[in-house]
Amino acid sequence: MIQFVPGPPPEVVAQAIAHREFAALHFTGSTFVFKKLWKDIAVNIDKYRSYPRIVGETGAHFISGALRENADCASGVPIGGKNFHVIHKSAEIRNAVLQSVRAAFEYQGQKCSALSRLYVSASVWNGGFKDQFLGEIAKIKVGPPQDFTNFMGPVMCASIATIALALLTSLQWQACACQDHRVHSKGKRRRWRDPNWRKLCVIFLRHLFL
């Protein structure tokens, strides 16, 4: 039997890891959190009935032109463990636009396969992709999941929303000082005072150096 247990991740995971019957961890997320979970499991190794199996897919963060692990989400951009699209000049633009929007914003982008990087040549971007892409994002309806006409709901918890807002604020500040860096905001804000609701944004880098 597989049971889905939603809730605050630290509390739910702590209960599972502390249990005598704990047998396995399959994790997708940051390197920092994965290392912490591994250490917590090691502390409890004597109480388990068997040796837990541990599998992890982790990412890193891009900060100030450098690739660093264990980075704070509030000051970096995740570049590992995520999906990316490369839009070639031979692509059918309309299809590429729609698939990119769905990949990026379905489930509020809270899935390991969410589109987080989109590589588009200048000729394709300026040849219609940009206008269609931002236009489709502007149409996205955000609201309570009980209303099935909404494409997106809130992010999963206030702490994640706070991290996202801090990152966006940092990027907007950098955009003011860098001509190669812009933040496109689309869509109407909903309940802006509630940290779980955020405006949809696309971060544009004219030149990418990794």
Residue range 113-148, pLDDT digits in tens: 788 888 998 899 999 999 999 999 888 888 888 888
Instruction: Give yes or no for residue 53 having a pLDDT over 70.
Output: yes
What is the total count of domains within the chain? 2
Q: Are residues 75 and 137 in the same domain?
A: yes
| Segment 170-191, tens digit of pLDDT | 766 555 544 444 555 544 444 4
The question of whether 112 is a catalytic residue gets the answer: yes
Please answer whether residues 145 and 152 qualify as being in contact, where contact means their C-beta atoms are separated by less than 8 angstroms.
no
Q: Are residues 128 and 94 in the same domain?
A: yes
pLDDT (0 to 100) of residue 95: 94
The question of whether 136 is a catalytic residue gets the answer: no
Query: For residues 99 and 60, which has the higher predicted lDDT (pLDDT)?
Result: 99
- Out of 59, 81, 106, pick the residue that ends a domain: 59
Range of the domain at 156: 60-205
Q: Are residues 113 and 158 in the same domain?
A: yes
Whole-number percent of the chain with pLDDT over 70? 71
When pLDDT is cut at 50, 70 and 90, the band that residue 66 belongs to is: very low
| Segment 7-24, tens digit of pLDDT | 778 888 999 999 999 999
Q: Are residues 126 and 27 in the same domain?
A: no
Q: Are residues 121 and 189 in the same domain?
A: yes
Per annotation, catalytic residue among 11, 21, 69, 112 = 112
Per annotation, catalytic residue among 11, 21, 57, 201 = 57
68 located within any domain: yes
Instruction: Give yes or no for residue 62 having a pLDDT over 50.
Output: no
Decide: pTM greater than 0.85: no
